[in-house]
Amino acid sequence: MIELPTDLPADLVPLSWLLGVWEGTGVIDYETADGHRFTGEFSHRVSFSDDGSGALNYAATATLLDGETPRTLVSEVGFWRLLRPALDTDPGPGLLPAVTDGAPRTADDVETLRTAEGAFELQAAIVHADGLSELYLGQVRGPRIDLATDAVVRAPGGKPYAAATRLYGLVEGHLLWAWDIAAFDSELASHASARLEKVQ
C-alpha cells in the first residue's frame, strides 16, 4: 500500500505517488548501429523527495552486477515539476525573490493545468555525473509518466547521446521503469528497464 502525505504543495499532488526511496534490479540490452551490444543486470536506487520548492528532488544510481566488483553505471540528480508558466509569486531566476506575495496554490489552481485527455504536462531536468544534461517533457496521467527529451547537452568529450524517452508506472505497489536511448549514432531503441520496490 502506498501512503501519500497530506501536506504537499498542490503542484506536487499529481506526482505524489513517486515520493520515497525505491530499490530493485533491472536489465540492460542495447545494440548500437555498428553492432556493439551491451547487456547485463544492474541494481537501481531511485529517490523522490519534496524540499518545499514546488518540484520533486530526484536522485538515482545504478550499479552493474557482473563480477565481484560492482561498477557504477550512472549517477544522476534532477528536479521534476508540473509544466506551468512562472508567476510573479514564484522566486527566480537565480536568487531573486518573488515579485509579489500570494496565497499558496490550491488544488483548483492545479486542476486548470489538466489537459483535455486528463493528464498533466510535466518537465524533468536531469543531470548526470559525467556531464550530460537532459530536459524531458511529458505527461503524468494517474500512476503513469511518459517523458521524452526536449534537449540534451553534453560536456566536451562526452560520448554520443542524442535523445531518450523514459516511462514510469506504478503497478501492484512496484515502480516499473524503462529507458530508451539514441546513442552512438543509433536510432532511439530499448536500453534498460527495472522493477523497483519502495523501501522508505
Please tell me the least confidently modeled range out of 16-25, 30-39, 46-55: 30-39
- Closest by CA position to 42, among listed 192, 159, 178: 192
Q: Percent of the chain, pLDDT > 70?
A: 97
- One-letter amino acid at 38 equals F
pTM of the prediction? 0.93
Q: Is the pLDDT of residue 74 over 90?
A: yes
% of the chain at pLDDT higher than 90:
82
pLDDT band at residue 97, thresholds of 50, 70 and 90?
Answer: very high
Average pLDDT over residues 136-140: 98
DSSP string for 104-150: PP-HHHHHTTB-TTS-EEEEEEEEETTS-EEEEEEEE-SSEEEEEEE
Fold of 10-198: Lipocalin (2.40.128)
Q: For residue 5, what pLDDT is reported?
A: 59
Domain borders along the chain are 10-198
More confident residue, 109 or 32: 109
What is the Cα–Cα distance from 149 to 124, expressed in whole angstroms?
9
Q: How confident is the model at residue 147 (pLDDT cuts 50, 70, 90)?
A: very high
Give the model's confidence band at 196: pLDDT under 50 very low, under 70 low, under 90 confident, else very high. very high
Q: pLDDT band for position 7 (50/70/90)? A: confident
